[in-house]
Amino acid sequence: ELAREFDIDAAEQNDETAPKILELKGVVFHESRCGSTLAANSMMALNPVTNRVYSESSPPISALRGCGEDYSECSLAGAANLLKDVVYMMGRSNDPKEENLFFKFQSVTTRTMDTFRTAFPSTPWIFLYREPVQVMMSQLDIPKISRANCVRSKSSSSLVRASVLKQGYRMEDM
């Protein structure tokens, strides 16, 4: 909130040091191992001077998950406001050539897409995926299987934990 007030005041006073606020032009959600890095690199390559692309950056991911996947820590509206603030801060620029802002979010954030859609209802987004068998084979190709995206967050996700327990399994069995 304070950054927005500062930016508005600076702009009203024609302060040359006032940051420019980049417009959020699009977002990529994806499953893991599907070629999403190519999509992020393509967004940057379209015009490297004017486009800023964040690829799996931590602050928006933390914001998307800040209220819990089940919104047990705050409401959907609260989570959306937090995400808007983070994107606003990351979209501030002192480069007059920059104009466009893009994000590629980690695959784990697909469970919180409703937060993004609430925060930015008119911003274009895409979900990239790949043949499931190919994704699993790619995951199994990782030297230490416990580091694969498909199993890495199993113990930290309240939704995964609840689903496993509901099926009668123990987390240690997974």
Q: What is the pLDDT of residues 150-160, one digit of tens each?
A: 555 555 667 66
Q: pLDDT 10s digit of each residue in the chain, 174 long?
A: 788 888 888 888 888 878 999 999 999 988 777 778 878 888 889 899 999 999 989 999 889 888 888 888 999 999 999 999 999 999 999 999 999 999 998 877 888 899 999 999 999 999 888 777 777 777 676 665 555 555 555 556 676 667 667 777 776 665
- What 8-state DSSP symbol labels residue 19? P
DSSP assignment of 97-162 equals: T--EEEEE--GGGGGGHHHHHHH-TTS-EEEE---HHHHHHHHHTSSSGGGSHHHHTTTT-HHHHH
- What 8-state DSSP symbol labels residue 73? S
What the block records as the tokens of 137 is: 């084979």
What the block records as the tokens of 25 is: 């032009």
Q: How far apart are CA 141 and CA 89, in angstroms?
A: 37
Phi–psi pair at 132, nearest 5 degrees: -55, -40
63 touches 79 (CB < 8 A): yes
Q: Tell me what pLDDT residue 127 has.
A: 87
Q: Which amino acid is at 60?
A: P
92 touches 3 (CB < 8 A): yes
Burial class (CB in 10 A: 0-12, 13-18, 19+), 153: middle
Q: How far apart are CA 42 and CA 135, in angstroms?
A: 21
